[in-house]
Amino acid sequence: MVFFIFGGFILKNWKVVLAILTANVVMMAAGYTMLIPFLPMYLMNELGVSAEHVKMWNGAIFSITFLIGGIMAPIWGRMADTKGKKMMAMRAGAGLAISYFLGGIVTSPEQMFGVRVIQGFAAGLWSACLALATSLVPMDKLGVSLGILQAGLTCGNVIGPLLGGTLATAFGMRSSFMVAGTLLTIITAVFYLYIPEPPKQEAVRKETAPKAQLLQRPVIRETMFYVAVAQMVILLIQPILSLYVAELNHGEGNLIFLSGFVFSLVGIASALTAPSWGRFGQRHGFYRSLYLAALLAGVMNFIVAIPDTLTLFCVGNFTYGLCSAGIQPSLSAVLASNTDADQRGRVFGFMFSAQQFGSMVGPLAGGLIATFFPLKSLFFVAGTLLLLISGAVYLRHGKDEALS
């Protein structure tokens, strides 16, 4: 059981810890997404970047955090296992809070680039939350717990752009940075006050392989590959979504609002079904939930490329969100199920690095494909990649789970 102090009372319920972690994840995701979609406008309207140079600056400022975060993630993961997962969560929260406050006062694109460098070094809050959750919840509740965390992440991704757009309209874009910094400060304080450090497992540590050999295990390497490809699929589509919406709607209407609405549909659908996918994986096997979710999401990518009206595309996009919600919780559960509690900081650090790699490759590949082929071809590429993941998982693991 987990003991911690909350409002002067000592509680013994892991569900409360999960609820607090989920609330932190919602605030974390909202703080991030209330800023990133509006970064090009911030560069032009507040930092004086010209229209012809904004794409270059936006690309550099956007990518540098992924690069540094991916390099640093295994280091922070190792420290989480040796120095404490709670400490690493607080490090990430405090560092991100500082970077957001600084982002609200910068006066040049060069300074904003420096802020994003700081964010890269501070990154890792999501992987720290995963490491804490998988170490604090019972193993027989792992699937649904990770599904709930994923739903919280998705909710934050939906809330963030709406909140950021409202704040920018009412109080200016710099206010969004200040609000995001405040949210991260609250998250850091909550970690310090209410989240316990998972107990050390000295006896287990002596029996396990050295930490340097973690990536030498085939199941870990294989899962990291799936993580990178799944993240690449997401970032393959997202950057061109507004262009595709404009194409379907023939350039009419409020395209910013319509793009935001279409984007939020996937998030809403994922938030609704992620816990159910986690529960399914807990009962029937996480590999089975992974290959089924990837299979259904892959098929839906082919289907959403068919409609030539925005309404039908929205319906297909929502259905895609229902299916794809099972991919990330299943991958996280596979990693947690195949590592000891005192290895999870590192393994989720590696997972974060894989996601960062996918986040860098996805937009580059998507832009290259969209340059030479119609926009809808990206959905076919994304669908093919997901079907390949599904087939690989089924051939390697699905039959074993079907027999169990």
| 224 and 182 part of one domain | no
Residue type, 35: L
| 177 and 250 part of one domain | no
Q: What's the rounded Cα separation, in Å, for the pair 281 and 326?
A: 9
Q: How many domains does the chain have?
A: 2
pLDDT band at 300 (very low <50, low <70, confident <90, very high): very high
CATH number at residue 225: 1.20.1250.20
In the numeric block, which tokens belong to residue 211?
């930490």
pLDDT tens across 85-135, in order?
A: 899 999 999 999 999 999 999 999 999 999 999 998 998 888 888 888 888
| 315 and 188 part of one domain | no
Q: Which residue has the higher pLDDT, 231 or 10?
A: 231
- The model carries a pTM of 0.76
Does residue 203 have a pLDDT over 70?
no
| 75 and 220 part of one domain | no
pLDDT band at 359 (very low <50, low <70, confident <90, very high): confident
pLDDT tens across 26-56, in order?
A: 999 888 878 776 777 788 888 988 877 877 7
Share of the chain above pLDDT 90, in %: 29
Answer yes or no: is 203 within a domain: no
| 373 and 326 part of one domain | yes
Where on the phi/psi map is residue 201: left (φ > 0), alpha (ψ -120 to 50), or beta? beta
Domain end marker among 141, 170, 198? 198
Q: What pLDDT score does 238 carry?
A: 75
| 146 and 221 part of one domain | no
DSSP state of 199: P
pLDDT tens across 92-105, in order?
A: 999 999 999 999 99
| 172 and 243 part of one domain | no
* Angle between helices 286-304 and 255-284 in degrees, nearest 10: 150
Contact 288, 401 (CB under 8 A): yes
Contact 301, 386 (CB under 8 A): yes
Domain region containing 290: 210-404
Task: Tell me which residue has tokens 């790699």.
Answer: 357
| 99 and 247 part of one domain | no
Q: CA triplet 270, 232, 383: central angle to 5 degrees?
A: 70
| 162 and 250 part of one domain | no
Report how far apart, in Å, the C-alpha atoms of 218 and of each of 59, 143, 213, 215, 369 are. 34, 22, 11, 8, 32
